[in-house]
Amino acid sequence: MRNVALELGKAGTAGTEKGVRPVLRDGVVVATLRASIWKEAATAVVEDREWVLAKDGRELVGRWPADPAGTARLRARQTSWWRGTWDVDLEGLVLQAARASLWRSALRYTDGDRQVALGGTTGGWSPRPTLTADVPLPLHQQVFLLWVESVLARRDAAGAGGAGGDGDGGGGGG
């Protein structure tokens, strides 16, 4: 059974303060994300727990604020820029991720031949990242994958001269 997709809402909507993006499931806020404007970093609040999401060297990582710097509970490392492939470690669940299409930044996350989750975007003039999990994943892991999707979308928008950005600072900074 497919879970309902998460969607990264526009900053300051759905009852969030200015600069905070809601993470929505069926229009209900299930987490929040405060992204840095200048760096690929964010603070997420998921089920009353704060997460520090950041670029650490060549990896995108997630940890609790109390964890020592340089450690990670969640980790995504690009394995091939040309093919757009990533290795993702979600607290011991190691996934492979590859672009779902040649034309988009969204990733398809797999465990062997089994699809675990699929990134995407909402339609319209200001597309926002989405994530649909095909297997039960804890919410904080889904939010981390959604943040990875937002970072990649922001990188793609920057690479295209800013075209197609969402106009509110993206999900990861640049």
Question: Of 36-45, 76-85, 142-151, 153-162, which gets the smallest average pLDDT?
Answer: 153-162
Q: What pLDDT is attached to residue 164?
A: 42
The pTM of the full predicted model, rounded to 2 decimals, is 0.88
Domain assignment of residue 171, yes or no: no
High-pLDDT (> 70) share of the chain, %:
88
**Number of domains comprising the chain:** 1
Domain assignment of residue 45, yes or no: yes
For 135, the domain range is 6-159
Domain assignment of residue 166, yes or no: no
Residue 3's pLDDT band (boundaries 50, 70, 90)? low
Name the burial class of residue 28, with classes exposed (0-12), middle (13-18) and buried (19+) by CB atoms within 10 angstroms of its CB: exposed
User: Is 102 or 5 the better-scoring residue by pLDDT?
Assistant: 5
Domain assignment of residue 39, yes or no: yes
Q: What pLDDT is attached to residue 165?
A: 41
Q: What pLDDT is attached to residue 158?
A: 76
Domain assignment of residue 172, yes or no: no
Question: Could you report the per-residue pLDDT of 84-122, keeping only the tens digit for each?
Answer: 899 999 999 999 999 887 777 789 999 999 999 999 988
Domain assignment of residue 1, yes or no: no
Among candidate residues 159, 21, 149, 12, the one with its CA nearest the CA of residue 86: 149
Domain assignment of residue 10, yes or no: yes
Region of 79 (left: φ > 0; alpha: ψ -120 to 50; beta: rest) is alpha
Domain assignment of residue 72, yes or no: yes
Residue 18's pLDDT band (boundaries 50, 70, 90)? very high
Among candidate residues 116, 118, 110, the one with its CA nearest the CA of residue 146: 118
Helix (H) or strand (E) holding 71: none
